[in-house]
Amino acid sequence: MVYVILADGFEEIEALAPVDILRRGGVEVRTAGAFGTEVTGGHGVQVKADCLLEDVELDRAEMIVIPGGLKGTETLEKTQPVLELLKRANERGLLLAAICAAPRVLKEAGLMEGKRCVCHPAHVQYMQASRVLDGPYAVRDGNIITGKGAGASLDYGFELLAALRGDDAAAEIAGKMVWDRQQPRT
């Protein structure tokens, strides 16, 4: 099970493109609203989350995903239940993923020190304890996967699928979607 945590102001493509890719790859995905099931993205797209944050079951989880979007990121990095969930997930060795501004949420949870990552260029300044790379769209360092930004959402989604089901599964879905996947740096 993959949980995608949503708060008002999330970046729609960074949340929904990976959800789509993962579901195409046979992964069970649930969106979880941090403050309710009715969540509005940064560009006004309204989404009905599958469950609430308190419904996230770490015993069933393989991965927790945090989409970017400035308002959503700023909210989640100040939300203690989200930070505690990420810490517990990390202690269990679950995969954790964040894209664009959202690696800041992982940083706030104390999970990014010394990690190689990518993020939106406007947020590099917040990632001082990390080793931010410039080139790739998606980077995996241990159990942490990061994506660069909205334009990298498909490559990031395929990297999430590859981490869960292998490179062949990601390549198969990318081919069916007619996408020439950028190979990430690990």
Find the catalytic residue in 51, 100, 117, 119. 100
Residues 27-86 have pLDDT tens digits of 999 999 999 999 999 999 999 999 999 999 999 999 999 999 999 999 999 999 999 999
Asked if 117 is an active-site residue, the reply is: no
Whether the pLDDT of residue 182 is over 80: the answer is no
Query: What is the three-class DSSP state of 96?
Result: strand
Instruction: Read off the amino acid at residue 153.
Output: S
Residue 175, exposed/middle/buried by CB under 10 A (0-12, 13-18, 19+)? exposed
Helix (H) or strand (E) holding 82: helix 80-91
DSSP class of residue 75? H
Residues 116-163 have pLDDT tens digits of 999 999 999 999 888 889 878 999 999 999 999 999 999 999 999 999
CA distance 43 to 23: 23
Residues 93-103 have pLDDT tens digits of 999 999 999 99
According to the CATH classification, is domain 2-176 in 3.40.50.880?
A: yes
